[in-house]
Amino acid sequence: MKVFISVDMEGITGVTNGSHTSSVEPDYQRFRKLMTQDVNAAIEGAIEAGATEVAVNDSHGPMTNILIEELHVEAKLISGNKKHLGMMEGIGDGFGVAFLIGYHDREGSADGVLNHSFMGGTVLEIRCNGEPVGEAGVNAGIAGHFGVPMGLITGDNVVCADSVRCFPGIETAVVKEAISRASTCSLTPTKSHALIRERAKAAVQKAPTLVPYRVVTPVTFEVDFKSTAQAYACDVFPELKRIGPRTISFSAGDYLTAFKMLWGALQLGAAGAR
């Protein structure tokens, strides 16, 4: 079985605030090492359960965080942030299950650690067919488009609880409890890696029974930006309809096309803020 792993950073063991996830801060080097160790634990569990191939997509910020020299020898690494599928680049029909490692919940949902939606300075809320979604939900839709079920998510208690609600049967590894957006109570790496390994093994074993997360088509996304300038920047394309001072809406007949429109709109919005 082929396993696809998307790895973010805010939900990694011990990560508590923005200084842990920014490459210009001194703590970053510690936490990119822990990021690599968290994903290695997931790979080990997957291989123990019979995975034959593992593709890892570095999915945080510049998407060049994982230390390839310390990555599990059996994995292949996708890195760099110029990708049409963003955090899910590399997924396709041949995969049996997808893992989301080190994920966080969307902005505005409870007090999840470092919660935001793709671009913290750009996006206030994303809705898919009227329902608010975070990165886990948006990316699960891409996996579902290819018929790949969600098998495992790791992160804080908030994102894991939300994933259980959205993706029946998903395994979770709660590596830390959120106290506030910038405070946590975290497991030690030894404990968290043992938990991730155990849950990854269980996810691969149950993968044939899991149902992919499929979004009803046609797909409509709405994005509430944090400023009117960001929505204005998107208004250059007629497909991106500005339906409010800070809000755009667009639709497509299939999920992958809708996602690519979303991904492009977020780039435009981010550029419009500068």
By annotation, the residues acting in catalysis are: 116
Classify residue 192 by its DSSP letter.
H
Phi, psi of 130 (to 5 degrees): 90, -10
Phi, psi of 191 (to 5 degrees): -70, -45
Phi, psi of 17 (to 5 degrees): -140, 175
Classify residue 207 by its DSSP letter.
G
Q: Which two tokens stand for residue 146?
A: 């290819």
CA 106 to CA 126: how far, in whole Å? 9
Q: In the chain, which residue ranges form alpha helices assigned H by DSSP?
A: 28-48, 135-145, 157-166, 189-206, 228-234, 255-272
CA 63 to CA 28: how far, in whole Å? 13
Element containing residue 174 per DSSP (H, E):
strand 171-180
Q: Is the C-alpha dihedral spanning 162, 165, 168, 171 positive or negative? A: positive
Taking 3-state DSSP, the helix, strand and coil percentages for the chain, each rounded to the nearest 5, stand at 35, 25, 40
